Amino acid sequence: MTAVLEPAATRAPQSLAELTGRARRIRQHIVDVCTGGEGGHLGGSLSLVEVLTALYFDVLTVDPERPQAPERDIFLLSKGHGAVGLYATLAERGFFDPAELAGFGRPGSRLMAHPVCAVPGVEMPTGSLGHGLALGVGFALAARLDRSPRRTYVALGDGELQEGSVWEAAAGAAGLGLDQLTAVVDRNGFQLTGVTEQICPLEPLADRWRSFGWAVREVDGNDMAQVQSALRAAPWTPGRPSVLIARTVKGAGVPFVADRVASHYVRFTERQHARASAALRRQARGDGDD
Amino acid sequence: MTEATVVPARATREAYRDRLVAQLAEQAKLICLDTDTGLFGGVDFGPAADRYVNLGIAEQNLMGVAAGMAAAGWTPYVNTFAAFAAARAIEAVKIDIAYNALPVRIAATHSGLAAGHLGPTHQALEDLAVMRALPNMTVVVPADAAAVEAVMEQATRLPGPLYLRLGRKATPAVPTAEPLVIGQVQMLRPGHEVVLVACGPHPVRAALAAAEELAAEGIEPVVLNMHTVKPLDVAGLCAATADARLVVTVEEHWRGGGLGSAVTETLAEHGPVPVVRVGMPDTFASYVGGHEPLLDHYGISAPAVAAAVREHLPRFSPPANPRRGGHPVVDPNGSGRVRREVEQ
């Protein structure tokens, strides 16, 4: 353990093989957690796995041994219902023992179904949508005033963008010129009861962010190389906050729930768990989806 | 009210503004986040200029940004009207600030009926109810400019969030022999049988004036300045009301949920002592007028307080076995008279 963490800018990129391997293990954790018990928010956790993996295993300056290290970067899961994915990632990264994941949502566990600060690595509690970006603006503004190299990353759901407070923060961040701030939109196209474009349309989403003064990039959010490359390169325009629109598949990695609204909250049976795990193993071997 | 005072009348919000400008020069990790309120127009922040940030008209964002900065080690003072702090932005106050127990100071101006003719959209008569419901929140209503300065000095040692309820126009200094300490009731006037419990510039002065009016009739009310609505000084309140026949609360707030409710809840559990609440009736203001005409119209005034005492005191007999005889002198510190089982 070094006294001061090495910033991402001077670290060599993590290999794609390492990242994809981690992503598969994180997906397995998520599938495990969403089996039995209370179940969990499966679809929106799986869709964000490449983003979480690229951040925690390559981009973010963090130290699992020192979750509060002052020189760390900040990640906020504004779409707090993706807690299963965040917990799985934190556990895989070493912030806590992955065995603890089995207690998710159960009496006495600290793994509440929306992120809480009692979990090592969680910076702020989230879950009520529309809070994370303003918090991120606060962290980024603090870093600027502190003359700190700290970067702040905020993951938003696409349905979450229907909350007006997101756009207060978006306008505020651009007005302040906070290029220390990067937002990621998990654009999986679904919200709780259906398709975003049929409920409260968001497109043209990139134009919307651009018109608020943000630097915008769009990638296949389940393509690790694209996600890693884009996140490592931020800020893309000096003086502007960056937003990565990650076009993802809700439930990505588990073919029999992927791209379906029903993947939002799932409690797998043991048989479904076996089927999902087999699909993840096949992807690891390169056999493709079933 | 126009009584002559040695200390000139001053608006609590202006006292806040001037003290904050001084504190910004003294404390490197202090920041002022504004929402285009205009309170800081023309202020020269000097070397601290980068620590005044106008975030625009976006109060939800204000509270979230403040929480993020506080989590990163800063102490933000945020400025908005009480109406917006306690209503529009309340979810961010609850989740981002109170839940995390972060040291954000919410400076809420135009509280109560202070917005006057601007109307109910700008009046805040629910803010004490809302803020005192939140765990970790400290809720203080300074009665004058000196009280604001005392609270802000003590706030530098307050680890959690603070709701600082401020007014709009100048109000006279409140005569008091005791320094303000957050969480400790101030006794402004000794007396017996009747206890007037007030917070805020106009209610406190209304209570004091009502007490003088009643004294001419042989009733000598105690007057308490309960500037800290949360955490309520339970021990001090119980001590000061131990021999009371009647407690009357006075506040610039709807009668439900605020100081009157806090006092009633406490005395119901620890007294019991009859409580009558003077405050805004259960209605939105429809009367057009400035701050003081509105207070008079809705009965948040010295005559209204005195009338409440005259009306309700006869309902409650003197105690059959007074614990301290007929004419107790209230000990403002109360330490010797607090029942040991009282919870803080």
| B36 contact residues in A (CB cutoff 8 A) | none
Verify that B205 and B291 share a domain, yes or no.
Answer: yes
Count CB pairs under 8 A between chains A and B.
Answer: 92
Contact present, A282 and A290 (Cβ < 8 Å): yes
* B24 and chain A in contact, CB less than 8 A: no
A241 at B interface, C-beta within 8 A: no
> Considering B165, B199, B232, which residue would you say is the last residue of a domain?
B165
**Residues B243 and B136 occupy one common structural domain:** no
CATH number, domain at B107?
3.40.50.970
Report yes or no: A115 at the B interface, CB cutoff 8 Å: no
Predicted local confidence at residue A3, as pLDDT: 56
User: What percent of chain B stands above pLDDT 70?
Assistant: 91
Same domain, B289 and B224: yes
Could you tell me which chain B residue has the CA closest to the CA of A146?
B29
B98 has pLDDT over 70:
yes
CA distance A56 to A58: 6
CB-CB: which of B55, B56, B73 is closest to A142?
B73
Mean pLDDT for the stretch of residues B40-59: 97
Task: Give me the domain span that covers residue A166.
Answer: 15-285
Distance from the A78 Cα atom to the nearest Cα atom in chain B, whole angstroms: 12
Q: Do B115 and B48 lie in a common domain?
A: yes
Residue of chain B whose alpha carbon sits nearest to that of A132? B64
Contacts of A34 (CB under 8 A, 6+ apart): A40, A42, A45, A84, A266, A267, A268
What integer pLDDT is reported at residue B331 of this predicted model?
Answer: 45
Residues of B in contact with A130 (CB under 8 A): 60
CATH number at residue A21: 3.40.50.970
Regarding whether B193 and B65 lie in a shared domain, the answer is: no
- Whether A134 sits inside 8 A of B64 (CB atoms) is yes
CB-side neighbour CA atoms (13 Å) of A74: 30
Residue B207 sits in a domain of what CATH number? 3.40.50.920
Of B3, B14, B26, B59, the catalytic one is B59
Q: How far is CA B102 from CA A40, B80, B264, in A?
A: 30, 18, 29
- Does residue B175 sit within a domain? no
Report phi then psi at A286, rounded to 5.
Answer: 85, 20
* Residue with the larger pLDDT of the pair B1 and B191: B191
Which tokens in the block code for residue A259? 């791209």
**Position B180 in a domain:** no
The answer to whether the beta carbons of residues B15 and B180 sit under 8 Å apart is no
**Looking at residue A259, what is its pLDDT?**
95
| B271: confidence class by pLDDT, cuts 50, 70, 90 | confident
Q: Is position B292 annotated as part of the catalytic site?
A: no
Residues B112 and B203 in one domain: no
| Segments of chain A scoring below 50 in pLDDT | 1-2, 290
Residue B67's alpha-carbon distances to A138, B72, B92, B281, in angstroms, are 7, 9, 9, 34
DSSP string, B273-333: --EEEEEE-SS---S---HHHHHHHTT-SHHHHHHHHHHHGGGSPPPSS-BTBSSPPP-SS
B68 to A139: CB separation less than 8 angstroms, yes or no: yes
Q: Are residues B134 and B198 in the same domain?
A: no
**Closest by Cα among A262, A268, A279 to A44:** A262
The residue type of B95 is I
In a domain, B217, yes or no: yes
Residue range B65-86: average pLDDT? 98
Contact B272, B246 (CB under 8 A): no
> Which pLDDT score is estimated for B268?
96
State residue B177's pLDDT score: 78
How much is the pLDDT for B332?
43
Residues 6+ apart with CB under 8 A from A177: A239, A240
- Nearest neighbour of B65 by CB, restricted to A138, A143, A146: A138
Q: Would you say residue B176 lies in a domain?
A: no
Tally of domains in chain B = 2
User: pLDDT value at position B320?
Assistant: 56
Provide CB contacts within 8 A for A281, sequence distance 6+.
Answer: none
Min Cα–Cα distance to chain B from A141, Å: 7
Query: How many domains does one find in chain A?
Result: 1
Query: Residues of A with CB below 8 A from B55's CB?
Result: 172, 175
Q: Which domain holds residue B13?
A: 3-165
- Is residue A7 in some structural domain? no
Work out the minimum CA distance from A123 to partner chain B, whole angstroms.
8
Contact call for residues B51 and A141 (beta carbons, < 8 A): no
The continuous run of DSSP H or E covering B264 comes out as: helix B259-270
Residue B151 shares a structural domain with residue B12: yes
Domain check: are B258 and B300 in the same one? yes
Q: Is the peptide bond before B175 cis (omega within 30 degrees of 0)?
A: no
In a mutational test of the B interface, the residue from A129, A131, A144, A160 whose CB has the highest number of chain B CBs within 10 Å is: A131
Residues B28, B112: one domain? yes
Question: Which chain A residues are closer than 8 Å to B65 by Cβ?
Answer: 134-135, 137-138, 141, 169, 172
Q: How does the average pLDDT of chain A come out, rounded?
A: 95
pLDDT tens-digit map of B192-239 = 999 999 999 999 999 999 999 999 999 999 999 999 999 999 999 999
Do the Cβ atoms of B96 and A135 come within 8 Å? yes
Interface subset of A 159-178, CB within 8 angstroms of B: 164-165, 168-169, 171-172, 175-176
Q: Quick check: A58 contacting B, CB < 8 Å?
A: no
Rounded to whole angstroms, the Cα distance separating B239 from A149 reads: 55
What is the C-alpha separation between A206 and A189, in angstroms, rounded?
14
Q: For testing the chain A interface, which of B32, B33, B34, B55 should be mutated: the one with the most A CBs within 10 Å?
A: B55
Per the CB < 8 Å rule, is B64 touching A123? no
* Helices B59-71 and A132-145, axial angle in degrees (round to 10): 50
Task: Kindly report the backbone phi and psi dihedral angles of residue B215, in degrees, each rounded to the nearest multiple of 5, phi listed first.
Answer: -60, -35
Regarding predicted confidence, which is higher, B333 or B58?
Answer: B58
Asked whether residue B177 is domain-assigned, the answer is no
| Structural domain contains residue A10 | no
Please check whether residues B246 and B153 belong to one and the same domain. no
* B325 pLDDT tier (thresholds 50, 70, 90): very low
Whole-Å CA distances, A1 to A61, A98, A261, B107, B164: 13, 21, 44, 43, 44
Element (H, E) at B210: helix B201-215
Residues of B in contact with A136 (CB under 8 A): 68
Return the pLDDT at A5.
Answer: 82
Rg for chain A, CA atoms, rounded: 18
- A182 in any annotated domain: yes
pLDDT at site A8: 77
Mutate to test the interface with A, among B57, B59, B65 (most CBs of A within 10 A): B65
Question: In chain A, which ranges are continuous DSSP H helix?
Answer: 16-33, 43-46, 49-54, 83-93, 132-145, 164-176, 196-199, 205-211, 224-233, 270-285
pLDDT at B89: 98
Distance CA(A19)–CA(A224), nearest Å, equals: 7
For the question of an ipTM over 0.85, the answer is yes
Q: Look at strands A215-220 and A242-247 and give their pairing.
A: parallel
Residue A140 lies in a domain: yes
Angle at alpha carbon of residue B13, lines to B12 and B16, rounded to 5°? 90
Asked if A36 and A103 count as a contact pair (C-beta separation under 8 A), the reply is: no
| Same domain, residue pair B196 and B155 | no
Whole-angstrom CA distances from B290 to B123, B198, B287 are 12, 21, 10
Boundary of a domain, candidates B165, B199, B224:
B165
- Sign of the torsion angle spanned by Cα atoms A75, A79, A85, A86: positive
Read off the pTM: 0.93
- Using one digit for the tens of pLDDT, what is the confidence trace for B125-180? 999 999 999 999 999 999 999 999 999 999 999 999 999 999 999 999 999 878 99
Judge whether B170 lies within some domain: no
Residue A36 confidence (pLDDT): 87
Token duo for residue A29 = 């954790």
The partner residue sitting opposite A124, judged by closest CB among B51, B56, B71, is B71
Say if residue B9's pLDDT is above 60.
Answer: yes
In angstroms, the CA B175 to CA B47 distance is 36
List B residues 72-111 in contact with A (Cβ-Cβ < 8 A): 72-74, 91-92, 95-96, 99-100
Beta strand B228-230 pairing with B138-140: antiparallel
What's residue A286's pLDDT?
Answer: 83
Identify whether the C-beta of residue A137 lies closer than 8 Å to the C-beta of residue B74: no
Structure token pair of residue B343: 């919870």
Q: What is the mean pLDDT of chain B?
A: 92
For B93, other C-beta atoms within 10 Å of its C-beta total: 29
The distance of Cα B231 from the centroid of its chain, to the nearest Å, equals 12
Residue A98 inside a domain? The answer is yes
